[in-house]
Amino acid sequence: MRYVVVGLHAAGRSACQWLRKASPAAEIIGVDPSPLPVYSRPLISYVLAGEMAPPGMGVADDDFWNRLGVSVLADKAVGLEAGHGRLLLKSGQELAYDRLLLACGARPRPVETAGDAAGEVCFFRGRRDLDKVLARVRPGGTAAVLGGGLVGFKLTMGLLKRGMQVTLIVTSPRPLSLNVDAYVGQWVGERLQNTPGVTLLTSTSVTSIDTGTDKPLRLALDSGAALDVDLVAAGKGVLPNTGWLADSGLECDYGVLADAFLRSSDERVYVAGDLAQAPDIVHGDRRTNAVWPVAVEQGRVAALNMAGLRAEYAGSLAMNAIPVFGSRMISVGLVNPSLTRGCDFVDVGTPRGSYLKLVFREERLVGAVGLDAPPRLGELAFAVKRGLRRRDIPAGWLANVQNAAPLAAPGGALVGNARFG
């Protein structure tokens, strides 16, 4: 049996490990154009902030793959003939497979703006993006960050620690509008506005980026103002890498469509990670969730199914946990105000200075957002995945959170605890 895995980051690396466990004697070939060692993409924000040296990002070097018995090809997949079981590589090589996993991720969403210097925008997706940003960092210089999501926030704080003055430009009325509720978004916005070295511009868009005079770049804003900066960096989300699959015969929508076993429309081809448009727990349809834990879990499930061990995927779930201004922000499931219309909300009694809101749809927990709230992200995610019913949460716990027992209960009828069913 020959397994081929395209992409060796979170989903692909997880899949290779589980394939080897499930098929000790199988041939496993990994294909990835990036040089070894494989690194953890989420760690680039820590390197930008000066909290970690670049070598610390590495998670899988040559020895790792050798011990696992995986042959690594430093090549790029450029085509797929699914009907013939052939993967086409940039080098011209054709690679046959018995089972194929597509885990080649996503690319930064482009910035659509005019101007002769629009191509100078830096992104913040991987190590090459990090190198490009660092090459333009100037202590005492100025930077513009486009995008008020989690990546834009991390860029802003990292550049600030590098000694730059940062203007964060957000098209929505508040930062993190897609990741948290209005309360937490406003809380983050107020602290950004009060942070020395940061200027927050909300409900604002960039209309053009041109070559500057006093500074390398000049941004024109829809407010009529202009901004001169040394660096422009964008964090406006990602797009699945599906372009090279146009003639593959696979069924694609936003990403590559996957069933409950992470199998594509071709029975020999599986998908995992940011490329996979797979079942979603709270939405009930197929979506992409470009977060690290989802990619790792999808890699595991896809590998087991590739090896013939039937493993149904429970579904993906959006979740995030990051430090913000000395607090711990968590969000899981449905919290975006545009997606929670018609839901019921419960503000939980938390210790002074903290905040936790639970989101219910048809009396089942579908989301949660908090600041320094006692339950950990994993416990909240567990409760959402299990479909915790509102009536099964003890009133005393809602009034005063002591621990996560009502959320982390394994199921069944429990005295003084929660039940899942």
pLDDT, greater one: 401 or 63: 63
Beta carbons of 287 and 278 less than 8 angstroms apart: yes
Domains of the chain: 2-106+239-306 (3.50.50.60), 118-234 (3.50.50.60), 319-408 (3.30.390.30)
Predicted TM-score (pTM) of this structure: 0.92
Query: Is the CB of residue 371 less than 8 Å from the CB of residue 191?
Result: no
Question: pLDDT confidence of 421, banded at 50, 70, 90?
Answer: very low
Pure H helices in 27-115: 44-48, 62-68
Q: What is the pLDDT of residues 7-61, one digit of tens each?
A: 999 999 999 999 999 999 999 999 999 878 899 999 999 999 999 999 999 999 9
- Type of residue found at 60: A
Question: pLDDT at position 410, please?
Answer: 53
Cα torsion angle, 71, 76, 82, 85, sign = negative
Asked if residues 32 and 74 have their Cβ atoms less than 8 Å apart, the reply is yes
- Own/partner contacts of 393-399, CB < 8 Å, gap of 24 or more, are 393/418, 394/418, 398/346, 398/348, 398/349, 399/349
In the prediction, which pLDDT does 416 show? 38
Share of the chain above pLDDT 90, in %: 86
pLDDT value at position 418? 36
Least confident of 295-299, 303-307, 400-404: 400-404
Q: How far apart are alpha carbons 56 and 70 in whole angstroms?
A: 23
Q: pLDDT tens-digit profile of 216-239? A: 999 999 999 999 999 999 999 999
Q: For residue 187, what is the enclosing H or E element?
A: helix 182-193
DSSP SS3 for 116: coil
Lowest average pLDDT, out of 156-160, 276-280, 369-373, goes to: 369-373
Model confidence pLDDT, tens digit, residues 406-416: 676 554 433 33
What average pLDDT does the chain have? Answer: 93
Q: What is the mean pLDDT of residues 325-329?
A: 93
Model pLDDT, residue 205: 97
DSSP states along 46-68: HHHTTSS-GGGGEEE-HHHHHHH
Find all residues with CB under 8 Å of 214, minimum gap 6, and list them: 228
Q: Secondary structure of 123-168 in the HEC alphabet?
A: CCCCHHHHHHHHHHCCCCCEEEEECCCHHHHHHHHHHHHCCCEEEE
Average pLDDT over residues 175-188: 94
pLDDT in tens, 362-411: 999 999 999 998 788 888 899 999 889 998 888 888 887 766 666 765 54
